[in-house]
Amino acid sequence: MAVWDDIKKQHKKVRKKGFKAMMAYFWDYYKIHTVVVVFVGLFTFFLIRDMLSNLPYGFYAMMINSTLHPDSDVIGEDFANYAGIDTTSYDVLIDTNVTLSTGEYNSYDVSTQERIMAITAAGDLDVIVTDQSVFEQYARNDYMTDLRTLMSEEELSKYEGYIYYVDKAIIDAIMDGSYESSSDASLEESAADDLDDATSDATVSDQEISYMLGISSPSSIVTADNFVLPDPSTMEDPMPVGIVLTDTAFMQETQTFAGTVPVFGIIGNSSHTQEALKFLEYMYTYTATE
């Protein structure tokens, strides 16, 4: 009790000296406590504010390795209006600033791949638009939806000549671990025959040979001059997983993938497949906003 009596006496003395003395006393003895309380209060405020302001995704697309970067906020808002997505309830993200190398990986590429893996596992990512090297990598790792499950035969036929196929037999072999042990030899033998024909008329680089054999992708983005649309007639089980967007209104207007060939694909576990199909329509019907 003596301690509390001393404190009360000290408080009475300070009060008699006026407001400034009280404030000085308070700051001397309670400044650490005050700073801690203020910090915790601010942290709690911003945490609650961010939690309340973070809306669930109504649509999420990545444009990987774009050569020009249109304003993602403008494109996202424009597409939300086109698709009728309520942006007061859902967030629409069109990320145009992602880059990824399929050749010599660096720490940024590893971080990007981990990010894509995480948002895909969370079911947030709906669409990828990217050049052939990245698209082929993710398609072969079974990231892309078979477009026949979302479109009728008639709807898919509208994109004839722009459909990107992968061999489902190769994907299955990669997934069950048998690809390298049994498939590589037959693939290399078949590809080698094709290469014999190709090299009889033209010189093929080591990188192109490696890419054709399915061993590795070129070390950088596949340019428009080097792009080859996969031929489904050469595949054991051709599966349509992408649409080439080169001639769409969006790509012609924005030159987002100038010098390369953008391929559109819908992620296999997308929860917004109808919006993803709307985004494909949007690419064809796009009109620049004022």
3-state DSSP call for residue 53? helix
Q: What is the DSSP string of 140-191?
A: HTT-B--GGGTS-HHHHHTTTTSEEEEEHHHHHHHHHT-IIIIIHHHHHHHH
Q: Could you list the pLDDT tens digit for every one of the 290 residues in the chain?
A: 554 555 556 556 555 555 555 556 555 655 565 555 555 554 444 434 444 447 899 999 999 999 888 888 999 999 999 999 999 999 999 999 999 987 776 788 889 999 999 999 999 999 999 999 999 999 988 999 999 999 999 999 999 999 999 999 998 988 888 776 444 444 445 444 544 444 444 444 444 434 433 334 444 678 889 999 999 999 999 999 999 999 999 999 999 999 999 999 999 999 999 999 999 999 999 987 65
Q: What is the pLDDT of residues 161-181, one digit of tens each?
A: 999 999 999 989 888 887 764
pLDDT in tens, 199-255: 444 444 444 434 433 334 444 678 889 999 999 999 999 999 999 999 999 999 999
Three-class SS state of 252? helix
Q: Which residue has the tokens 């145009």?
A: 96
pTM of the model: 0.70
Element (H, E) at 263: strand 263-266
- Who contacts 14 (Cβ-Cβ below 8 Å, separation ≥6)? 21, 22, 25
Residue carrying the six token digits 């014999």: 196
Please name each of the domains of the chain with its CATH number.
Answer: 2-52 (no CATH), 56-285 (3.40.190)
